[in-house]
């Protein structure tokens, strides 16, 4: 039952990305291409998700704890350092090169396209290397 | 600037569905539904903290497959650049999200909704970097490489 809940939550996420068109790299690159033919769709995807999370989160956080135990996240940090900015810049460059961020990349594994597997494999390699060199607690 | 291919209704609807999934994760185990973190921490093998990640990721693939099958218009895919670009892009996304502590979902959706200053800086940074990259690839190099 627990297992099914996470499988279901993941399926909802993948479904949402597909409905939003974010599994198509062209839509993402269209958003990032400000000086060309601009496609603002991604901003609405983020806005819709963010607003839903904001409202839904208020309801959920009335509980003492999550249903499967553990605890809710603490107050967010506002501390900004070189690692945060540098890392985000590297991520942005990779994002702009292929139009893929981690969510759409994972969801697109459903296509059984070798290039998508290549992207995800390289991404995991990059993650493991970064954790090895700089520590995992990001 | 011309606005083209804008699909406001599916974008908003899909966004709401993504938000619901993130709310589910918060309700179930209190975690932030950031996909880069969910992937990366699979490999840390912390007891009791791995299975849900694998299940969630399998669910994402299944949810994508089901949606592509049921609504073929969602399956549009204009392709990726050359192999070299794809591997470089994946590697940069992997390194960058670990150093920056999140991606479009963790920082862009959950972090911003939580009012995190870190997430705001991260989002502004990766959006700017992505926009500059696309500008260089498409309008300086002429798109020939992709």
The 8-class DSSP code of residue B32 comes to -
Q: Whole-angstrom Cα distance, residue A81 to residue A59?
A: 32
Measured in degrees and rounded to the nearest 5, phi and psi for residue A15 equal: -60, -45
Question: Which of B37, B126, B144 is best to mutate for the A interface (most A CBs within 10 A)?
Answer: B126
Q: Quick check: is B40 in a domain? A: yes
Q: Quick check: is B89 in a domain? A: yes
Measured in degrees and rounded to the nearest 5, phi and psi for residue B126 equal: -70, -30
- Both tokens of residue B98? 């670990």
Domain that holds residue B118: 8-140
Q: Whole-angstrom Cα distance, residue B10 to residue A17?
A: 10
Q: Quick check: is B98 in a domain? A: yes
- Burial label for A48, CB within 10 Å (0-12, 13-18, 19+), is buried
Mean pLDDT of B26-45: 96
pLDDT of residue B92: 98
| Sole residue written with tokens 């959706």 | B109
pLDDT of residue A40: 96
Q: Whole-angstrom Cα distance, residue B119 to residue B144?
A: 34
Q: Quick check: is B15 in a domain? A: yes
Categorise residue B17: left if φ over 0, alpha if ψ from -120 to 50, beta otherwise: alpha
- Both tokens of residue B10? 């599916």
CA B43 distance to own-chain centroid: 19
Mean pLDDT of B23-50: 96
pLDDT of residue A59: 97
Mean pLDDT of B39-44: 95
A25/B78 touch (CB, cutoff 8 Å), yes or no:
yes
Q: Is B143 at the interface with chain A, CB within 8 A?
A: no
Partner residue opposite B21 with nearest CB, options A9, A37, A126:
A9
Q: Is B3 helix (H, G, I), strand (E, B) or coil?
A: strand
Question: Which of B9, B29, B68 is best to mutate for the A interface (most A CBs within 10 A)?
Answer: B29
Beta strands of chain B (E only): which ranges? 2-3
Q: Which residues of A touch B49 (CB under 8 A)?
A: none
Mean pLDDT of A23-32: 97
Q: Quick check: is B117 in a domain? A: yes
- Both tokens of residue A100? 């893929």
Count up the domains in chain B and report the number. Answer: 1
- In chain B, % of residues over pLDDT 70: 97
Q: Quick check: is B146 in a domain? A: no
Angle formed at CA A50 by CA A44 and CA A56, multiple of 5 degrees: 135
pLDDT at B39 over 60: yes
Residues 50-109 of B with CB under 8 A from A: 51-52, 55-68, 71, 74-81, 83, 85-105, 107-109
Q: Which residues of B touch A111 (CB under 8 A)?
A: 68, 77
Q: Quick check: is B1 in a domain? A: no
Pick from A67, A74, A79, A72: nearest CA to A1? A67
Using pLDDT thresholds of 50, 70 and 90, give the confidence band for residue A79.
very high
Partner residue opposite A20 with nearest CB, options B11, B92, B107:
B11
pLDDT of residue B143: 62
pTM confidence score: 0.96
Q: Which residues of A touch B95 (CB under 8 A)?
A: 87, 90-91, 126-127, 129-130
| Sole residue written with tokens 């999200």 | B97
Pick from B15, B39, B142, B95: nearest CA to A95? B95
Using pLDDT thresholds of 50, 70 and 90, give the confidence band for residue A137.
low
B26-55: burial string, b at 16+ Cβ within 10 Å, e else: bbbbbbbbbbbbbbbbbeeeeeeeeebbbb
pLDDT at A138 over 60: no
pLDDT at B80 over 60: yes
Q: Quick check: is B3 in a domain? A: no
Using pLDDT thresholds of 50, 70 and 90, give the confidence band for residue B142.
confident
Measured in degrees and rounded to the nearest 5, phi and psi for residue A124 equal: -65, -40
Per the CB < 8 A criterion, the answer to whether B102 and B122 are in contact is: yes
């Amino acid at each position: 039952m627990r297992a099914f809940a996470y499988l279901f939550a993941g399926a909802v996420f993948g479904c949402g990305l597909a409905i939003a068109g974010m599994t198509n790299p062209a839509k993402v690159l269209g958003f990032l291409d400000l000086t060309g033919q601009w496609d603002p769709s991604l901003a609405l995807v983020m806005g819709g998700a963010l607003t839903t999370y904001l409202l839904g989160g208020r309801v959920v956080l009335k509980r003492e704890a999550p249903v499967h135990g553990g605890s809710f996240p603490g107050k967010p940090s506002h501390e900004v350092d070189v690692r945060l900015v540098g890392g985000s810049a590297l991520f942005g460059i990779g994002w702009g090169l292929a139009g893929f961020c981690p969510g759409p990349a994972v969801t697109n594994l459903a296509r059984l396209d070798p290039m998508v597997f290549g992207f995800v494999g390289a991404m995991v390699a990059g993650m493991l290397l970064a954790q090895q060199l700089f520590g995992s607690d990001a | 600037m011309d606005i083209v291919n804008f699909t406001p209704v599916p974008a908003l609807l899909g966004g709401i569905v993504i938000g619901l999934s993130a709310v589910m994760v918060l309700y179930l185990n209190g975690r932030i539904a950031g996909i880069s973190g969910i992937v990366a921490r699979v490999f840390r093998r912390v007891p009791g903290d791995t299975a849900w990640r694998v299940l969630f990721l399998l669910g994402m693939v299944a949810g994508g497959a089901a949606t592509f099958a049921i609504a073929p218009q969602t399956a549009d895919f204009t392709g990726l650049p050359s192999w070299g670009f794809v591997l470089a892009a994946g590697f940069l996304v992997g390194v960058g999200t670990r150093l920056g502590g999140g991606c479009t979902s963790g920082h862009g959706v959950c972090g911003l909704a939580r009012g995190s200053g870190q997430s705001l800086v991260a989002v502004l940074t990766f959006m700017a970097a992505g926009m500059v990259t696309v500008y260089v690839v498409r309008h300086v190099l002429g798109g020939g490489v992709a």
